[in-house]
A and B are shown apart, each in its own frame.
Chain A
Amino acid sequence: MSSPATRGSGRTGWSPGFLVKLVLIALVDALGVYAVLAAWSADSWGVLAAMVALLLVANWAYFTKRALPLKYILPGLAFLLVYQVYVVAYTGYVAFTNYGDGHNSTKEQAIEALLVQNERRVEGSPSSPLTVVSDGGALGFAVVSPDGEVRAGTAERPLEPVPDAVVDGGQVTALPGYDVLEYAAVLERQQEVTDLRVPVSDDPADGSIRTQDARTGYVFTSTLTYDPASDTMTDTTTGVTYEPNDDGQFEAADGTILPVGWRVLVGFDNFVTAFGDDRYAGPFVQILLWTFAFAVISVASTFLLGLFLAIAFNDVRLRGRRVYRTLVILPYAIPGFLAALLWSGLLNRSYGFVNEVLLGGAQIPWLTDPVLAKLAVLGVNLWLGFPYMFLICTGALQSLPTDVLEAAKIDGAGRWRTWRSITLPLLLVATAPLLISSFAFNFNNFTLIYMLTGGGPRFDDASVPLGHTDILISMVYSVSGLDGTAAKDYGLASALSIVIFVVVATISALAFRRTRSLEEIA
């Protein structure tokens, strides 16, 4: 007994087990190093650091003798970090930024985009056949004017006529004082070529030649210039200067803003917007109440129906139990989003199967009347959800200890009494955590709402695109513009998601605490 304990699990010697471990760890390391290199070449420093840390921990954990528990939980821990902790932390971070339309990227990219968007082709200027040339090291352009004259220049030297150039089919093939670049060489330096501006003359107002395809050049002037020293943008036509503001945009003294901005931290602004916009105040309360009602009723109704069927099919006197059980599982086998979509068709007012066939052509507005739509959502969710509850209740019922039930019978308890005092509490011990998870799931049951009603019918009295069957998560989806009905605002969406996370986490924590009292019975 004592020798394994002192040896721990760190196998030594060249036993088969150790060899297997060595091979597996070598595989992990190989892939890890590959991933590190990939992250390196993609400049993803965060991923790189995380990979290195994980690799070091993995190697240490599987070769040391002192980390037996870690050997078992490390893979799970790694998944938890990546899929849960990182996602929540990143959402939390985005909630404090203004990431969204108009603030989509970094400041460098915003500046670049603004400069590019504000270059104008000089009106009436010709498009000239262009050849990329080099003057020793510096790149330059040679353009052929409409009258056949060839002019060349570089970024430093404005265009000047070059005599004795050889022109073939509009393209310059030889130029004294310059080397003509082959297409492949141009491609190698395409970033430089597209960035190159060759001034037309000494006067910057005349504009400069640029090209986008290395075949044709145009004269452009810039209406915006950026000064890195003072970090300001200047409009050259009006002379107005724009300075970066706290919202991640360039703003002039009179408050006008340049369209492209960048991502910055905005503190609690998103949370203030989430609760401060009075257009949302009324609908928010209604939606919050409905979300709770929807989640609670869905859990209760599916659980009760599932439990009832489980008890009924658990009775040995019932014939063909297997057939029934199989049939009951069927709704569970259809993907939820598909079922919701099917139901939205079945419930169509004029052409749906329910009205047309089952109700003999009645025109019942299942999905467009506020009350009926809510009932429809609950009904469809009941249809979708009860097989799951049926499954877990069947399992729990079959594992109930028979001796306790017998003891109750001997003590003279009736059926109802036995069920209420013995069966149900024991059942709840097994199913309570699943009920809590079911609540959390339904609280965020976006698929059902989105596919069945799309949140409709709309509130008549509200000025926002929200409806009677919207729950919090589908509200987040439309409020933050992810459905395309408003400007996208990932910051606001994240802030609202964090709020939902807190609500669900609190309720789950409280509920789990309550279930402990159930366990005392068992």
Chain B
Amino acid sequence: MRRSILTAAALTATLALAACSGGAEEPAGEESAAPNGEGSTLTVWVDETRQAAVEDAAAGFEESTGAEVEVVLKNFEDIRPDFLAQVPTGQGPDITVGAHDWLGELTTNGVVAPIELGDTAAAFEPVSVQAFTQDEQVYGLPYAVENIALIRNTELAPEAPATWDDAIAAGEEAGTEYPLLIQTSTEGDPYTFYPLQMSFGAPVFEQNADGTYAPELALGGEGGTAFAEWLAEQGEAGTLSTDVTYDIAVAAFAAGESPFIVGGPWMLEQFADLDLSIDPIPSAGGEPAQPFVGVAGFYVSAQSENALLANDFLVNHMATPEAQLALYEAGDRPPALIEAADTASEDPITAGFRAVGADAVPMPSLPEMGAVWAYWGVTEAAIVSGQSDPAEAWEKMVADIQGEIG
């Protein structure tokens, strides 16, 4: 509907301003009206980092099929709301890039179509296909796996720490300003804190046997309380602080003010001149500190008029080592296709992130997850800053989320 308002506005504007405006804007919606045949056009939404890689794959596809691929550049943040709003009007793309945790929302609104990967499914990292699976159906073609890990400045700390306390001790020994950097901010950062929470045995939702999540909260209980109390202790000791935002943490690590930072491959650009090693995140509560895995992939619109082309493009042209490696070059995230990931792992940093990712858990894609984020971070931040009593605040948070989910 949004598009049609815009169209109406644009059309009326052209009408009223016709006298002064020479070239009128092309109204939208032409591509769907174009006759099929040789001139079939596949519209793909991409964001900046994947544009070049998708365009390369599209060139090969155009050559082999004669169909045209129109790659539309969009802001990553705009893709999800625009896709949800435009697919029902028939104006959306045939394919869009997206993250796997959108899946719940996209299927509830009926805007994505399943993809049958067939035998290619086995060629992908299992966690990546699992992340795009809901109710036994796969809805996306994965191309990259991303997760956080402990990034270590090898000059300041020669050895990987085994536990959180080891890391803090090593950091203090290094004599830098911060023993360890972890972005927190006043809104909290539950994504970055999740491995620490997992090390206390408090996953966010119950996990089914096949690795998918059930919409039953699991972050309360003993593990959750223990984690909350640990947060309060660390906040008091000063190892965690709500003043450390993403920018501050990255800048401090780049300046050599700490031997460790908890973060992902997206930070690496700023650390180009440091000697780094990627290690598993040290456990604070005894159990393995598993971070969330996010999988990036391509979705096919449920209203696509070119479903055949779209699936052909994805399954036969984007699931190739070349295409996946091109995306890896552009975005630095380990590819989802095992063959491509093996090639990319020649780089020790990528191999490090991949090794941590292999033991990680997929980020829940349930629609209920939205409600969790809203309470989770601020509660953690309030506990770290000492504003709230840890056990009480954690318990209230669980109750509030439960109330929101209903």
B324-347 interface code vs A (CB 8 A; 1 in, 0 out):
000000000000000000000000
Q: Using Cβ atoms and an 8 Å threshold, which residues of chain B touch A43?
A: 90
B67 lies within 8 A of A114 (CB): no
B12 lies within 8 A of A191 (CB): no
Total number of B residues with any Cβ neighbor in A under 8 Å: 82
- B15's partner among A55, A102, A212, A213 (CB-CB below 8 A) is A55
A24 contacts the other chain (Cβ, under 8 Å)?
yes
A104 and B110 in contact (CB under 8 A), knowing A117-B137, A184-B38? yes
Q: Using Cβ atoms and an 8 Å threshold, which residues of chain A touch B14?
A: 31, 35
A191 lies within 8 A of B107 (CB): no
Q: Which of B81-139 contact A (CB under 8 A)?
A: 84, 87-88, 90-91, 105, 107-111, 113-116, 118-119, 135-137
Surface stretch bound by A, among B142-150, B161-169, B266-274, B397-405: B397-405
Surface stretch bound by A, among B23-31, B279-287, B348-356: B23-31
How many residue-residue contacts, CB under 8 A, span A and B? 219
A349 lies within 8 A of B305 (CB): no
A216 contacts the other chain (Cβ, under 8 Å)?
yes
- B9's partner among A31, A46, A82, A457 (CB-CB below 8 A) is A82
Q: Which of B225-259 contact A (CB under 8 A)?
A: 241-243, 245, 248
A260 and B108 in contact (CB under 8 A), knowing A83-B9, A117-B135? yes
CB of A467, distance to nearest CB on chain B (Å): 9
B302 lies within 8 A of A42 (CB): no
A194 and B307 in contact (CB under 8 A), knowing A47-B11, A117-B107, A460-B388? yes
Assign chain A's interface to a size class: 35 or more
CA of A107 to CA of B387 in the docked complex: distance in angstroms? 49
A191 and B374 in contact (CB under 8 A), knowing A31-B14, A34-B24, A104-B110? no
A454 lies within 8 A of B187 (CB): yes
A435-449 interface code vs B (CB 8 A; 1 in, 0 out):
000000000000000
A325 contacts the other chain (Cβ, under 8 Å)?
no
CA of A489 to CA of B115 in the docked complex: distance in angstroms? 28
B18 lies within 8 A of A28 (CB): yes
A462 — nearest CB in chain B belongs to which residue? B400
A120 contacts the other chain (Cβ, under 8 Å)?
yes
A421 contacts the other chain (Cβ, under 8 Å)?
no
Q: Using Cβ atoms and an 8 Å threshold, which residues of chain B touch A200?
A: none
CB of A58, distance to nearest CB on chain B (Å): 7
CA of A457 to CA of B385 in the docked complex: distance in angstroms? 12
B7 contacts the other chain (Cβ, under 8 Å)?
yes
B110 lies within 8 A of A113 (CB): yes
Q: Which of A230-264 contact B (CB under 8 A)?
A: 259-260
A42 and B28 in contact (CB under 8 A), knowing A187-B309, A458-B378? yes
A212 and B5 in contact (CB under 8 A), knowing A51-B15, A187-B67, A190-B309? no
B28 — nearest CB in chain A belongs to which residue? A42
A260 lies within 8 A of B109 (CB): yes
B396 — nearest CB in chain A belongs to which residue? A463
B209 contacts the other chain (Cβ, under 8 Å)?
no
B109 lies within 8 A of A101 (CB): yes
A54 contacts the other chain (Cβ, under 8 Å)?
yes
A141 contacts the other chain (Cβ, under 8 Å)?
no
- B110's partner among A34, A112, A186, A368 (CB-CB below 8 A) is A112
A109 and B303 in contact (CB under 8 A), knowing A101-B367, A116-B114, A188-B36? yes
A42 lies within 8 A of B110 (CB): no
Q: Using Cβ atoms and an 8 Å threshold, which residues of chain B touch A83?
A: 9
Q: Using Cβ atoms and an 8 Å threshold, which residues of chain B touch A385?
A: none
Q: Using Cβ atoms and an 8 Å threshold, which residues of chain B touch A30?
A: 18
- B305's partner among A28, A82, A191, A348 (CB-CB below 8 A) is A191
Interface centre among A31, A54, A454, A456 (most CB of B within 10 A): A31
A105 lies within 8 A of B16 (CB): no
B107 lies within 8 A of A216 (CB): no
CA of A486 to CA of B400 in the docked complex: distance in angstroms? 12
Q: Which of B380-402 contact A (CB under 8 A)?
A: 382, 385, 387-388, 396, 399-400
A268 contacts the other chain (Cβ, under 8 Å)?
no
CA of A27 to CA of B14 in the docked complex: distance in angstroms? 10
B15 lies within 8 A of A127 (CB): no
B316 — nearest CB in chain A belongs to which residue? A213
A74-85 interface code vs B (CB 8 A; 1 in, 0 out):
010011001100
A-B contact pairs, 8 of them (CB 8 A): A41-B29, A83-B9, A105-B110, A106-B88, A186-B308, A187-B65, A456-B187, A485-B371
Q: In the complex, given contacts A187-B40, A211-B308, what are 11 additional A-B residue pairs having Cβ atoms less than 8 angstroms apart? A: A27-B19, A28-B19, A41-B33, A104-B111, A105-B87, A113-B111, A190-B305, A260-B109, A279-B403, A486-B371, A488-B84
Name the 9 nearest CB pairs between A and B, nearest first: A113-B110, A485-B374, A105-B88, A104-B109, A42-B29, A190-B308, A350-B243, A212-B311, A35-B11
Interface residues of B (CB under 8 A from A): 1, 4-5, 7-9, 11-16, 18-19, 24, 27-30, 32-33, 36-38, 40, 65-67, 84, 87-88, 90-91, 105, 107-111, 113-116, 118-119, 135-137, 186-187, 241-243, 245, 248, 302-303, 305-309, 311-312, 315-316, 367, 370-371, 373-375, 378, 382, 385, 387-388, 396, 399-400, 403-404
